[in-house]
Amino acid sequence: MSQPSTAKLTPFHDPRVSLRSAHLNGRTYGYIYQPRHTNVPNRGTIILIHGFPDLAFGWRYQIPFLASLGLDVIAPDCMGYGRTDSPAHGLHDFTYRRIADDVAALCAQLNLHTVLLGGHDWGGAITYRIALYHPGLIRALFVVCTPYTPPQPVYVPLAQLVATRVPNFGYQLAFASGAVETHCNTPRAIRQFLANMYGARTPAGQSAFTANKGPDLAKQATITAPPPAVLITPAELDFYVQEYSRNGLRGPLNWYRTQELNY
């Protein structure tokens, strides 16, 4: 019997995967599941945790490949994203501790005693905290683009860090300010924001984003061209717009408002 393709997942519907949901600590999560290929050794389960501006679908290249190696693959939409709940009030649902406990609850619900774990961006930060809070659950882990930052004894506000040490994190202040979700509150504006984040240019060929300042919302509003297809195809961007439009940008951007709760 032929094995499923290892080509990247296609948006909207890919027959190799199922879209599942789980009720975890009072909140509902949506996740992608692909079972391991048959006739290969069973290597257990891997959970993949995405970052911003992404979705579980951001692992579209890795999910089929990892399944071909004998792994059952689970990729949740994180809190605030896609098919997962996006609580309208408060920030505690978006903290490292909450998300780490939710992943542990998912493992318990699925009777998974140990798992492999992978994270990118914010998902990397969560991966580290899962290993700290639930060390017996983790067989091994990997993280892409997120250096390890241990819990700190003293809280330092992000604005102070940007002013004194990491000016290139100024975009995080912009994301936390509330301006982005206020201006980008329609599918068209969400499309322009996502296109901007994935490298689309204005009609004048300019970028509408800098690390020090974040998105230039006036320039962003002129974007009509798609981002580079090597990063995200037009169909994939359509899918992202659909998923981000479910609950808007506030939930995903709440992750930039939890520093004091997380330190």
Check: CB of residue 246 under 8 Å from CB of residue 82. Answer: yes
- Using CA atoms, how far apart are residues 178 and 250, in angstroms rounded to an integer? 8
Average pLDDT on 240-250 reads 99
Q: What is the pLDDT of residues 155-189, one digit of tens each?
A: 999 999 999 999 999 999 999 999 999 999 999 99
For residue 27, the cross-strand partners are 24
The pLDDT of residue 2 is 74
Looking at residue 4, its pLDDT comes to 86
Distance CA 87, CA 94 (A): 9
Residue 216, burial from CB neighbour count under 10 angstroms (0-12, 13-18, 19+) = middle
Do 103 and 73 touch, CB atoms closer than 8 A? no
Which of 1-10, 54-63, 139-148, 212-221 is predicted least confidently? 1-10
Sort 222 into a burial class: Cβ within 10 Å, 0-12 / 13-18 / 19+.
middle
In the CATH scheme, what architecture does the domain 1-151 have? 3-Layer(aba) Sandwich (3.40)
Q: Which two tokens stand for residue 82?
A: 């896609």
Please write the tens of the pLDDT for every residue from 92-121. 999 999 999 999 999 999 999 999 999 999
pLDDT value at 54 more than 90: yes
Could you give the residue range(s) of every CATH 3.40.50.1820 domain in the chain?
1-151
- pTM, two decimals, is 0.97
- With 70 as the cut, is the pLDDT of residue 1 above it? no
- Quickly state the pLDDT bin for 16 (edges 50, 70, 90): very high
- Under the banding of pLDDT at 50, 70 and 90, the label for residue 224 is very high
Across the chain, what does the average pLDDT equal?
Answer: 98
What span, in angstroms and rounded, lies between the C-alpha atoms of 78 and 30? 8
Q: What's the pLDDT score for residue 213?
A: 98
40 in helix, strand or coil?
coil
Give the pair of three-digit tokens for residue 101: 């406990």
Q: What is the pLDDT of residues 134-162, one digit of tens each?
A: 999 999 999 999 999 999 999 999 999 99
- Which pLDDT band, with edges at 50, 70 and 90, does 3 fall under? confident
